[in-house]
Structure 1
Amino acid sequence: MTSPAKFRKDKEIVAEYETQVKEIRAQLVEQLKCLDQQCELRVQLLQDLQDFFRKKAEIEVDYSRNLEKLAERFLTKTRSTKDHLLKKEHSILSPVNCWNLLLLQVKRESRDHATLSDLYLNNIIPRFAQISEDSGRLFKKSKEVGVQLQEDLLKVLNELYTVMKTYHMYNTDSINAESKLKEAEKQEEKQMGRSGRQDDRQTPRSPDTLASIKTDEKPVRRSSVKKIEKMKEKRQAKYTENKLKAIKARNEYLLALEATNSCVFKYYIHDLSDIIDCCDLGYHASLHRALRTYLSAEQNVESSKHSGLETLEGATESLEANGDKQKLMETYNNVFCPPARFDFQSHMGDTMGVLCAQQALESELLQRCQQLQSRLSTLKIENEEVKKTMEATLSTIQDMVTVEDFDVSECFHHSNSMESVKSTFSESYLSKPSLAKRRANQQETEQFYFTKLKEFLEGRNLITKLEAKHDLIDKTLGESQKTDCCLASGRRNSAVRKQESGEAIPLMVESCIRFISRHGLQHEGIFRVSGSQVEVNDIKNAFERGEDPLAGDQNDHDMDSIAGVLKLYFRGLDQALFPKEVFHDLISCVSMESLQERAVHIKKGLQSLPSKTLIIMRYLFAFLNHLSQYSEENMMDPYNLAICFGPTLMSVPEGHDQVSCQAHVNELIKTIIIHHDTIFPGPQDLPGPIYTIPGAGDDFCDSPHCEPPLVEEPAPDTVSVIHNSEDVTTALTV
């Protein structure tokens, strides 16, 4: 009989199978629900797309109409203006051309967006509606196929359950038959064992005696053994029959199990995938076509817009002040052309229309010519300095107004948070604090530029007037008087060279720097504000006579005039302090971002200059660095000082763009001011005077032969070498 443990185990196996089948049934139900849900989501998505594009079409139509109104408003204003003829003439100017192209671009965008709206309504939305209809129909058919496959799968599972139950039943019968067979075998063994023990207890006998005993007992034992053997044979036959049935049932069960597993695997791996493919049949391809239609429409709008923007960009790049100025003057030629020359209007029959150089007037004219020549020499140097300062300031203004801050691409790198968009926008160029600061700096620089422009134009007007007088007198007097006029300037320059021949630092440079270091470090606008021209000339003439008008502790001179004298000295050199030979080597460092790297590059570029030039550079830039440390009081930081001294110390070679190169020159001078101690060698490597910051209690010697405390002498033998060296002016022109 089957044991209770085996019976419980069989029940557990059946229960486990039923649980597994139950889970599969639940999965099948959920699969259909999932597909239903996907179909509903797909239909809802397509409906949302239709609603979206319907609303977008309305927006595009409204946008198109508003653009059309905007363009027509200004085009009508242009056509109906009373100054239509003037507008027509101005249309050739580059800003007006940009304006016209901008209006045309707006009209183009209006037409494009109207077309876009039409495509949304009559092309894209019907496509989505058709996709929705097709998807619903295909899903319904796919679901029918899926339900049929699920029914087939459940049928296979039921068949497996039936085969398994049959197998369990036959196997149980086989086990029971086997158990009965074993009981019969045990009885047989028991019977045979009892007979054997009886034989063993008897004494040994002869073979004849034993045979006779067996013959006597044989009828009794044979009846019992035969009965047991017959029962055993019957049970053996039953066991063999049940065992064969159990084996066949097990084989059928294993075959059904393998088939069921294959069917389940096929359904989950292949059938479900095929059903989903049927549900998706044509959906993605149709959606792809619809969205590609949308993309094509948008891309064509963008292409049209891009084409118009390229035209506008070309017009924007063609904005050119000089060209427009020329066009304006050509358009109004009668307004801007110079008037006829004024002719000599004789009085009372006086027909002498030229200067009279009679002997009585010749000496007077000659003296006047000399005065005009001297005055013109000074004015030209001064006006050239003002011009270069003005051009440097103009370059600064152009840098301010041409800064490439128009790239707003970062504003369009939106994240999902609107707060980040707001913060990005607030930190842009239009942020009020930075804009106000830039506007203030720009207006201050513009004010300085117009001050210099006015000064330059007034100086040029005066030079033009004096030159005209000088040239007429010179032409009247002849070439000999012209030669005499030039001698005065030569003698004056000779006096200056004679004065400087024995000094490492020229007296004019040393004295002006000493005076400013004593009294002008905190003077606002030093080197930027022009001084009194009369006082500048007086101080300059005194130095040319070999005097030192700034000696002593008197502070009765105008500080701006002293600064003007110092700049005028470097402006009047035969060759700029920085020779043109090193221009390219030095300017190339401006592209380096690190100021320290620039300083190293500049130091290498200056190694080829004469030692006298380097001594003066070292002295001057040490002073300028010291002056810049008081920028909070004097408003002259290294960059402002560079704007003032850049045109004076380094001239831009011919053939270069003066405006752009001057900006690089100013940046170079600023770097030298900041890193002068790195660029120029110390007194150990370059013996000579150095600028030192004056301290409290310093005693200044007013004698030109006594070295002031702003200059340190390294050693007596070195000083003798310096003072016996070549002329400073000659060194600067090497």
Structure 2
Amino acid sequence: MNSCVYEEESLYRAEARMDAKTVRFLYSHRCKEVRAQLVEQLKCLDQQCELRVQLLQDLQDFFRKKAEIEVDYSRNLEKLAERFLTKTRSTKDHLLKKEHSILSPVNCWNLLLLQVKRESRDHATLSDLYLNNIIPRFAQISEDSGRLFKKSKEVGVQLQEDLMKVLNELYTVMKTYHMYNTDSINAESKLKDAEKQEEKQMGRSGRQDDRQTPRSPDTLTSIKTDEKPVRRSSVKKIEKMKEKRQAKYTENKLKAIKARNEYLLALEATNSCVFKYYIHDLSDIIDCCDLGYHASLQRALRTYLSAEQNVETSKHSGLETLEGAAESLEANGDKQKLMETYNNVFCPPARFDFQSHMGDTMGVMCAQQPLEVELLQRCQQLQSRLSTLKIENEEVKKTMEATLSTIQDMVTVEDYDVSECFHHSNSMESVKSTFSESYLSKPSLAKRRANQQETEQFYFTKLKEFLEGRNLITKLEAKHDLIDKTLEESQKTDCCLSSGRRNSAVRKQESDEAIPLMVKSCIRFISRHGLQHEGIFRVSGSQVEVNDIKNAFERGEDPLAGDQNDHDMDSIAGVLKLYFRGLDHALFPKEVFHDLISCVSMESLHERAVHIKKVLQSLPSKTLIIMRYLFAFLNHLSQYSEENMMDPYNLAICFGPTLMSVPEGNDQVSCQAHVNELIKTIIIHHNTIFPGLQDLQGPIYTIPGSGDDCCDSPHCEPPLVEEPAPDTVSVRHNSEDVPVALTV
């Protein structure tokens, strides 16, 4: 029994020793794995650093090559622009240069060359930024990254050494714990052996007492006396050994417990250090490697983006200017500029005067008998001939205009959108021009060109026929008018004289009127016939007709009187704008320019109107009357913006430069935008800004068809003009729902 227990305890101690060796072996193996992992961490960081340096080097090489491409492109653009600018500068005729500088096609050409030069400068600047700004940034980032990585690696190596030191310390503490625990187990085993020996000794003594037979008291006493010293000596020896082993066990047990506590503390500290290293220290080391890298790279790339965006902005600005010039391509405007530039070439020569012969001083036609009957008959013949010619020529004119419209449709076809050619930009496909499938490559091009040339030939045939007919009509009308005038003078000499005096008085009276005849008549004509005319005041009319109408007004006539609608509406609008443009001083004086412009910054339209009204109070009454009349008409015109496409803002763009000039020394572009906004406000809120009849006596604009379009002050005679009633009606609202009050 005792031998079996002893064998089990020995086996247990042997297994404990084997487990301790296994644990230490496994611990050593795990430490080796951790050390290998730490080495791989440094290799991984080295690899990241190499990739980073290689990336930065590739970026430098890329931008260096791109800089070469940009500078080559810049030089080629510069050569291209200079080649054609040199041809322009070589023009000898100074007047021709001046004429070229103001014609809209040449203006487009000059702007195109300037845009090319601008692009050349921009791309040269782009190349310089690549070489002297962006590439040095990448080089500096590479240098900084290498230096920071080296220092970060040193910190990482130190942390790894500290971690391995902690693991080694844990191993030492664990071995100490195992050693003391083994000693405790051995001491416990020896103590158990002593206890077993004591139990064995006590068991023997008991059995001997039981086996002995009954003896006499004297005999028993003698035996006890003989055996007592022997038993006491053996028991004391066992007890002393047990006490020594008990003390040894207690001592070793205490050491084992302390060692175990130290091992558990070291184990917790080691696990915390390992966790801290992997969760925090490694992250901090990587952060140190990346210190400033991403921010610096972002700054470098943003520098590139800023450069490219500024190039795009500059190009976009130039293209917008060129687009504005393309929108301003206008044949009538160029014709007018050409005629003004070469005024001495295109202006009509002086009238041919009557050259008397041999003392004949009679410079007028004679209508005395018997010539009067002949002249009357000839006048009737001319009248009949003119009626026929005018009808024929009007038919030719209509055919010519229809043909011209067809030609304009042919040459204004919108085939300029090539956005489909750039669809490869989004899909990264190979660059492939799709222009081969566009308008100019269609098989019907030759047919269209032939049709266009045939239509042009027909147009010129009709144009020639129309011009010849108009020349003949002009000659016959001149003869007819002179004969008719001669016959009238011969019959009513006195009446003609009095009529001349009366016409002179009428002209003088009109010159003293608050609303000039030219303004009143043009507005009346447009109000009656042109409220729905698309592009009114925006589309230029015939310069010839504009001059004819203007000259008629200057002679004191009213070519727009009556209800005839045979005039070109755009030409009538051009006459009205020409009147205000030709004033010696703009309708809005320069003295109030800044006071008026200051209201544009006000967000409230009502506050603007009140401010404008306050500023305009200082102007003369006649100026205010004209303004009131004009802006009431413009407001009425804007009510038909759905048909005529002229809302208050579009009208302001047309009349802003005409009515209010920007003083010298101010930014023309920004100030003109403010002027247009101001004119728009006045058009919308004219009723608030200008005083009514109670405060300012004078003509007011009225709705066409409600009576005379110009109502004078109450002092005028009732038979001529109806006195305006105080009632007002609201007509169609404008785009900002502001009612326009018109007197009826």
Deviations 1:40-69 (A, max 9, x none): 223323332332333233323322322232
Cα 1:385–1:137, aligned 2, differ >3 Å: closer, same or farther? same
Shift of 1:85: 5.5
Deviation for aligned residue 1:78: 2.5
* Range 721-730 or range 133-142, more displaced: 721-730
Query: How far 1:163 moved relative to its partner?
Result: 1.9
Tell me how far 1:239 sits from its aligned partner.
Answer: 4.2
The alpha carbon displacement at 1:151 in A equals 1.7
> What are the Cα deviations for residues 148-169 of structure 1, in whole angstroms up to 9, with x where unaligned?
2222211211222222233334
Alpha-carbon distance in 2 for matches of 1:107, 1:136: 43
Contact 2:731–2:740 (Cα < 8 Å) also in 1: no
Partners of 1:543 and 1:549 within 8 A in 2: yes
Q: Which moved more, 1:136-145 or 1:705-714?
A: 705-714
The verdict on how the C-alpha distance between 1:104 and 1:656 changes in structure 2, with shifts beyond 3 A counting, is closer
Residue 478 of structure 1 aligns to a residue whose secondary structure is helix
In 2 relative to 1, CA 61–716 (structure 1 residues): closer, same or farther, beyond 3 Å? closer
Change over 3 Å in CA distance of 1:8–1:623 after alignment to 2:
farther
CA 1:81–1:119: 2 relative to 1, 3 Å:
same
Distance 1:443 1:126, change over 3 A: same
- C-alpha distance in 2, partners of 1:288/1:567? 56
- Provide the secondary structure at the position in 1 that maps to 2:173: helix
- Contact (CA 8 Å) 1:370, 1:488: kept in 2 or not? no
Q: Which residue is 2:527 aligned to?
A: 517
Give the deviation of 1:482 after TM superposition.
Answer: 16
Higher RCO (CA-CA < 8 Å; seq separation 6+): 1
Query: Partners of 1:42 and 1:726 in 2: how far apart?
Result: 60
Change in Cα spacing, 1:76 to 1:445, as seen in structure 2 (3 Å) is same
1:319–1:233 distance in 2 versus 1, CA, 3 Å: farther
Stretch moving more, 270-279 or 498-507:
498-507
Deviates more, 1:628-637 or 1:356-365: 628-637
Name which of structure 1's ranges 407-416 and 706-715 shifts more when overlaid on structure 2: 706-715
Counterparts in 2 of 1:145 and 1:413: CA distance versus 1, 3 Å: farther
Q: 1:68 to 1:644 in 2, by over 3 A?
A: closer
Q: Report the more deviating stretch, 201-210 or 76-85.
A: 201-210
Could you say if the C-alpha distance between residues 485 and 376 of structure 1 is closer, same or farther in structure 2, counting changes exceeding 3 Å?
A: farther
More off after superposition, 587-596 vs 274-283: 587-596
Asked if structure 2 preserves the Cα contact closer than 8 Å seen for 1:639 and 1:667, the reply is yes
Q: Residues of 2 paired with 1:501 and 1:664: CA distance?
A: 33
- 8 Å contact 1:536–1:561 — kept in the other structure? yes
Q: Tell me, what secondary structure is at the counterpart of 2:370? A: helix
Query: Could you tell me how far apart the structure 1 residues matched to 2:584 and 2:739 are?
Result: 8
- CA change 1:141–1:232 in 2 (3 A) is same
Q: 1:260/1:710 Cα in 2 relative to 1: closer, same or farther (>3 Å)?
A: farther
Task: State the distance in 1 between where 2:578 and 2:317 align.
Answer: 55
Deviates further, 534-543 or 438-447 = 534-543
Q: Secondary structure of 1:729's partner?
A: coil
Q: How far is the alpha carbon of 1:28 from its aligned partner? A: 1.3
Distance in 2 separating the partners of 1:393 and 1:75: 39
8 Å contact 1:492–1:544 — kept in the other structure?
no
Kindly, what percent of the aligned residue pairs are identical? 95
In 2, the alpha carbon distance for the partners of 1:535 and 1:129 equals 71
Residue in 2 aligned with 1:61?
71
Give yes or no for contact 1:689–1:714 (8 Å, CA) kept in 2. Answer: no
8 A Cα contact 2:56 2:138, kept in partner: yes
Q: Which moved more, 1:386-395 or 1:662-671?
A: 662-671
Cα deviation 1:651-705 (Å, max 9, x = unaligned) = 9999999999999999999999999999999999999999999999999999999
How far residue 419 of structure 1 moved from its aligned partner, in angstroms, is: 1.7
**Is the partner of 1:315 in helix, strand or coil?**
helix
How far, CA to CA, are the matches of 2:509 and 2:340 in structure 1? 55
Q: CA shift at 1:139, angstroms?
A: 3.0
TM-score (norm 2): 0.49
CA apart distance, 1:529: 27
Whole-angstrom CA distance in 2 between matches of 1:710 and 1:55: 85
Write the distance in 1 (CA, Å) between the matches of 2:656 and 2:433.
Answer: 40
Deviation digits for residues 10-65 of structure 1 (CA, Å, limit 9, x no counterpart): 46655554444333222211221122222222332333233233323332332232
Which is further off, 116-125 or 516-525? Answer: 516-525
Counterpart contact for 1:526–1:563, Cα < 8 Å: yes
Instruction: Please point out which of 466, 474, 487 is paired with 2:484.
Output: 474
Cα 1:264/1:465, change in 2 over 3 Å: farther
Residues 1:566 and 1:243: Cα distance change in structure 2 (over 3 Å):
closer
Mean CA deviation greater in 294-303 or 100-109: 294-303
In the TM superposition, what is the alpha-carbon distance from 1:328 to its structure 2 partner?
0.5
Cα distance in 1 for residues equivalent to 2:99 and 2:552: 59
Please point out which of 308, 314, 339 is paired with 1:329.
Answer: 339
Task: Label 1:271 to 1:46 Cα distance change in 2 as closer, same or farther (>3 A).
Answer: same
Note the residue ranges of structure 1 that are not aligned, 5 or more in a row. Answer: none
**What's 2:149 paired with?**
139
Q: What is the alpha-carbon root mean square deviation over aligned residues?
A: 13.8
Single out whichever of 129-138 and 648-657 deviates more from structure 2: 648-657
Q: Which residue of 2 aligns with 1:167?
A: 177
Task: Please give the alpha-carbon distance, in whole angstroms, between the structure 2 residues aligned to 1:560 and 1:314.
Answer: 22
Counterparts in 2 of 1:630 and 1:393: CA distance versus 1, 3 Å? farther
Please say which of residues 295-304 and 354-363 is displaced more in the overlay: 354-363
Q: Does the residue aligned with 1:716 lie in a helix, a strand or coil?
A: coil
Q: Aligned match of 2:550 in 540, 554, 563?
A: 540
- Asked if residue 120 in structure 1 is aligned to residue 135 in structure 2, the reply is no
Does the CA contact (< 8 Å) of 1:576 and 1:732 recur in 2? no
User: 2:115 is matched with which residue?
Assistant: 105
Q: Residues 537 and 570 of structure 2 are in contact (CA less than 8 Å); yes or no, is this contact kept in structure 1?
A: yes
Correspondence for 1:697 among 707, 713, 718: 707
Flag the 1:498–1:267 CA change in 2: closer, same or farther, 3 A.
closer
1:507 paired residue number: 517
Flag the 1:603–1:160 CA change in 2: closer, same or farther, 3 A. same
Q: 1:723 to 1:73 in 2, by over 3 A?
A: closer
CA contact (8 A) 1:618 1:680 kept: yes
**1:239 to 1:56, Cα distance in 2 relative to 1, 3 A:** same
* Alpha-carbon spacing, 1:638–1:39, altered in 2? closer, same or farther (3 Å): closer
- Cα distance in structure 2, aligned partners of 1:436 and 1:603: 62
From 179, 198, 214, the equivalent of 2:189 is: 179
- Aligned 8 A contact 1:590 1:667 in 2: yes
Equivalent position of 1:8 in the other structure: 17
Unaligned runs of 5+ in 2: 1-13
Distance in 1, Cα, partners of 2:737 & 2:286: 99
In the alignment, is the contact (CA less than 8 A) between 1:698 and 1:709 conserved in 2?
Answer: no
Bigger shift: 441-450 or 642-651? 642-651
CA drift of 1:329 comes to: 0.9
- Name the stretch that deviates more: 411-420 or 324-333: 411-420
Q: Which moved more, 1:119-128 or 1:663-672?
A: 663-672
1:580–1:653 CA contact under 8 A, matched in 2: yes
Moved more, 704-713 or 291-300: 704-713
Distance 1:718-1:201 versus aligned 2 partners, 3 A rule: farther
Once the two structures are overlaid, the 10-residue window that deviates more, 124-133 or 644-653, is 644-653
SS for the counterpart of 2:424 is: coil
Separation in 1, partners of 2:737, 2:310: 75
Q: Are the counterparts in 1 of residues 703 and 743 from structure 2 also a CA contact under 8 Å?
A: no
Distance 2:728 2:137 in 1: 96
Segment of structure 1 superposing worse, 395-404 or 321-330: 395-404
For structure 1, which segment, 718-727 or 140-149, has the greater mean C-alpha deviation from structure 2 after superposition? 718-727
CA contact (8 A) 1:495 1:545 kept: no
Q: Distance in 1 between matches of 2:661 and 2:418?
A: 38
Greater mean deviation of Cα atoms: 684-693 or 119-128: 684-693
On the 8 A contact 2:703/2:742 being kept in 1, the answer is no
Aligned partners of 2:537 and 2:651 also within 8 Å: yes
Change (3 A) 1:180 1:732: closer
In the other structure, the counterpart of 1:552 is 562
Superposed CA offset, 1:335-364 (max 9, x none):
333456678999999999989989999999
Query: What count of residue pairs does the alignment treat as equivalent?
Result: 730
Native 8 Å contact 1:692 1:711 kept in 2: no
Please identify, of 463-472 and 130-139, the stretch whose mean Cα deviation from structure 2 is larger: 463-472
Offset at residue 421 of structure 1 (A): 5.9
Alignment CA distance shift 1:163-1:284 (3 Å): same
State the 1:302 CA deviation.
5.7
Offset at residue 543 of structure 1 (A) = 41
Residue 115 of structure 1: how far off its partner (Å): 4.7
